Amino acid sequence: MSTLPLDMQILNAIAALFLLLAFAMLSQRRVVTLVKLLALQAALLCAATLLLAWRTGETHLYVSALLTLLLKVLFLPWLLNRLIRQLGVYWDNESLLQISGTMLVGVLLVIFSFGLAQPIVALASTATRSGIGIAIAVVLLSFLTMITRRKAMSQVVGFLSMENGLFFGAMSATYGMPMIVELGVALDVLVAMLVLGVFFFQIRERFDSLDLHHLESLREDK
Amino acid sequence: MLLLASLLGLWVVIGFLGLIRPTSLRFVAHILFPLGAAVGVAIAAAAALSIGSPTEQWVLGVGLPDLPVHLRRDALASVFLFLLGAASAGISLFGAGYFRRGEGTLPGLLCLQYHLFLASMGAVLLADDAYSFMVAWESMALTSYFLVTTQHRIPEIRQAGFLYLLIAHLGSIAILLSFGVMQGGSWQFTFDAMRAAELPPGWASAAFLLALLGFGAKAGLVPMHVWLPEAHPAAPSPVSALMSGVMLKTAIYGVLRVTFDLLEDPLWWWGLVAMSLGLFSALYGVVFAAAQTDMKRLLAFSSIENVGLLFTGFGLALIFQSAGMSAPAALALIAVLYHAVNHAFMKGLLFIGTGAVLHATGQRNLGRLGGLIHRMPWVAWPTLIGALAIAGLPPLNGFVSEWLLLQAFLSAHEVPRLFLNMLLPLGTAVVALAAALAGYVMVKFFGVVFLGQPREAALKDAHDAGWRERAGMIWLAAGCLLLGLLPNQAISLLARVPVQFGVLDPDATFGSWWLLDPVAGRQASYAPLVFLAIVSLCVVATIFAVTRIYRRRVRRGAPWDCGFARLDPRMQDTAEGFGQPIRHIFEPFFGMRRELPAPTDSAPHYHVEVSDRIWNGVYVPAAALVQRLALTVAVLQQGRISTYLVYSLVTLLVLLGFVL
Amino acid sequence: MSGLRWLIQVIEVLVALLAAPLFAGWIAQCRAVLQNRTPPSIWLPYRNLRKLLTKEAVLAEHASPLFRIAPYIVFGTMICAAAIVPSLSTNLPFSNAADAIALVGLLATARVFMALAAMDVGTAFGTLGARREMMVGFLAEPALLIVIFVASLISQSTALPTIADRLATEAFALYPSLAFTAVAFALVLLAENARLPVDNPATHLELTMIHEALLLEYSARHLALMEWSAALKLFNYACIGMALFVPWGAATTEMPTAPALMLAIPILAFKLLVSGAVLAFAETAFAKLRVFRVPELLATAFLLAVLGLLVHLLLQG
Question: For residue B68, what is the enclosing H or E element?
Answer: strand B67-73
CB neighbour list of residue C35: distance below 8 Å, 6 or more residues apart: C284
- Residue A118 pLDDT level (bands cut at 50, 70, 90): confident
- DSSP character string of B390-447: HTT-TTSHHHHHHHHHHHHHHTGGG--STTHHHHHHHHHHHHHHHHHHHHHHHHHHHH
DSSP B322-372: HTT-HHHHHHHHHHHHHHHHHHHHHHHHHHHHHHHHHHHH---BGGG---H
Cβ-Cβ contacts under 8 Å between A and C: the total is 61
Task: Give dist(CA A111, CA B275) in Å, integer.
Answer: 18
What's the average model confidence in pLDDT over C5-30? 90
To the nearest 10°, report the CA torsion of B36, B39, B40, B43.
-160
Mean pLDDT score across all residues of chain C: 86
* The predicted structure's pLDDT at residue C317: 42
* DSSP symbols for C34-100: HTTSPPPPTTHHHHHHHHHHTSPEEEETT--HHHHHHHHHHHHHHHHHHHHS-SSBS--GGGGT--H
d(CA B490, CA B55): 20
**Chain B CB contacts of C142 below 8 Å:** 429, 432-433, 435-436
Alpha-carbon distance of B387 to B368, in angstroms, equals 20
- pLDDT of residue A80 exceeding 70, the answer is yes
pLDDT in tens, C134-166: 999 888 999 999 999 888 888 888 888 888 888
Query: Which of B70-79, B456-465, B481-490 is the least confident region?
Result: B456-465
Asked whether residue A82 is domain-assigned, the answer is yes
A222 pLDDT band, cuts 50/70/90, is: very low
Burial of A191 (0-12, 13-18, 19+ CB in 10 A): exposed
Kindly state the average pLDDT of the residues B162-169: 93
Q: Is residue A216 a part of any domain in this protein?
A: no
* Chains contacting B (3 or more CB pairs within 8 Å): A, C
Q: What would the mean pLDDT of C201-217 be, rounded to a whole number?
A: 82
What is the longest distance spanned by two Cα atoms in chain B?
Answer: 106
Q: Within 10 A of B111 (CB to CB), how many other CB atoms are there?
A: 27
The alpha-carbon gap from C39 to the nearest alpha carbon of chain A, in Å, equals: 35
Which range has the worst mean pLDDT, A53-67, B463-477, C224-238, C241-255?
Answer: C241-255
Give me the residues of A, 106-125, that contact B with CB < 8 A.
Answer: 107, 111-112, 114-115, 118-119
Instruction: Determine contact: B419 vs chain A, CB below 8 A.
Output: yes
Tens-digit pLDDT profile for residues C72-108: 999 999 998 998 888 887 777 777 778 888 899 999 9
Residue in C311, C312, C273 with CA at minimum distance from that of residue C156 = C312
Which stretch of DSSP H or E encloses residue B544?
Answer: helix B528-549
Rg (alpha carbons) of chain A, rounded to whole number: 18
Contact between B160 and B229 under an 8 Å Cβ cutoff? The reply is: no
CB B418 within 8 A of CB B272: no
Q: Would you place residue B281 in the very low, low, confident or very high pLDDT band (cuts 50, 70, 90)?
A: very high
Cβ–Cβ gap B567/C123 under 8 Å: yes
pLDDT over threshold 60, residue B243:
yes
Quick one: pLDDT band at residue B399, thresholds 50, 70, 90?
very high
| Whether the Cβ atoms of residue B255 and residue B215 lie closer than 8 Å to each other | yes
A129 three-class SS: coil
Tell if the CB–CB gap between B422 and A111 is shorter than 8 Å: yes
pLDDT attached to residue B190:
82
Question: Which of C173, C300, C311 is closest, CB to CB, to A2?
Answer: C173
The conformational region for residue B562 under phi > 0 = left, psi -120 to 50 = alpha, else beta, is left
Q: Please report which residue ranges of B235-325 form alpha helices under DSSP H.
A: 237-242, 248-256, 268-289, 295-322
- For residue B531, the distance in angstroms to the closest alpha carbon of chain A comes to 32
Which residues in chain B touch residue A111, judged by CB atoms under 8 angstroms apart?
419, 422-423, 426
Interval B627-657: pLDDT, tens? 999 988 888 777 777 788 888 889 999 998 8
**Which of C50, C73, C78, C119 to mutate to test binding with chain B, by most B CBs within 10 Å of its CB?**
C119
What ranges in B99-182 are assigned the alpha helix state H?
A: 107-126, 130-148, 155-182
Report CA torsion sign: A64, A69, A70, A73.
Answer: positive
pLDDT of residue C84: 86
Give Cα separations from B647 to B260, B630, B631, B653 (angstroms): 49, 19, 19, 10
| Cα–Cα separations (whole angstroms), residue B39 to B49, B118, B119, C125 | 15, 11, 11, 50
Please write the tens of the pLDDT for every residue from A139-179. Answer: 999 998 888 887 778 888 888 898 889 888 888 777 767 77
> HSE on the CB side for C230, CA within 13 Å?
22
- Predicted local distance difference test score (pLDDT) of residue C186: 93
Q: At B436, is the pLDDT very low, low, confident or very high (cuts 50, 70, 90)?
A: very high
Stretch 228-287 of chain C: residues touching chain B, C-beta under 8 Å: none
Question: Between these two residues, B42 and C315, which has the higher pLDDT value?
Answer: B42
pLDDT at A2 over 60: no
Q: What's the pLDDT band for B520 if we cut at 50, 70, 90?
A: low
CB B475 within 8 A of CB C142: no
Lowest-pLDDT range of A178-182, A209-213, C310-314: A209-213
A14 in any annotated domain: yes
Task: Report yes or no on A171 lying in a domain.
Answer: yes
Q: Does A104 touch chain B (CB under 8 A)?
A: no
Among candidate residues C274, C308, C265, C135, the one with its CA nearest the CA of residue C211: C135
How far is the C-alpha of C199 from the C-alpha of C176, rounded, in Å? Answer: 30
Whether residue A221 lies inside any domain: the answer is no
Q: Structurally, how many domains does chain A consist of? A: 1
- Which residues neighbour A198 within 8 Å (Cβ) at sequence distance 6 or greater? none
pLDDT of residue A221: 56
Write the pLDDT tens digit of every residue in C284-300: 888 888 888 888 888 88
Helical segments of A58-178, H only: 59-68, 76-87, 99-123, 131-148, 152-174
Interface size between B and C, measured as CB pairs under 8 A: 254
Return the percentage of chain A with pLDDT > 90, whole number: 8
Chain A nearest-CA distance from C310, in A, is 7
| A144 part of a folded domain | yes
- Which pLDDT belongs to residue B246? 94
Nearest CA to B181 among B227, B150, B212, B156? B212
Is B198 strand, coil or helix? Answer: coil
Q: Which residue of A has its CA nearest to B585?
A: A100
Q: What is the pLDDT of residues B560-607, one digit of tens each?
A: 777 776 777 777 888 888 888 888 888 777 777 778 888 888 888 888
pLDDT at B84 > cutoff 90: yes
| Contacting residues for B60 by C-beta, under 8 A, at least 6 apart | B68, B69, B70, B71
Residues A13 and C314: their CA atoms lie apart, in Å, by: 12
pLDDT at B508: 67
Residue A190 confidence (pLDDT)? 78
B13 in reach of chain C (CB within 8 A): no
Tell me the per-residue pLDDT of B307-349, one tens digit each, with 9 for 90 and over: 999 999 999 999 998 888 888 888 899 999 999 999 999 999 9
- Answer whether C17 touches B (CB < 8 Å): no
Domain containing A171: what range?
A: 6-209
How far A1 CA sits from the closest chain C CA (Å)? 7
**Does A218 fall in a domain?**
no
pLDDT at residue B151, as a whole number = 84
Tell whether the model's pLDDT for residue A53 goes beyond 80: yes
**Tens-digit pLDDT profile for residues C27-64:** 999 999 999 999 999 999 999 999 988 888 888 888 88
DSSP designation for A104: H
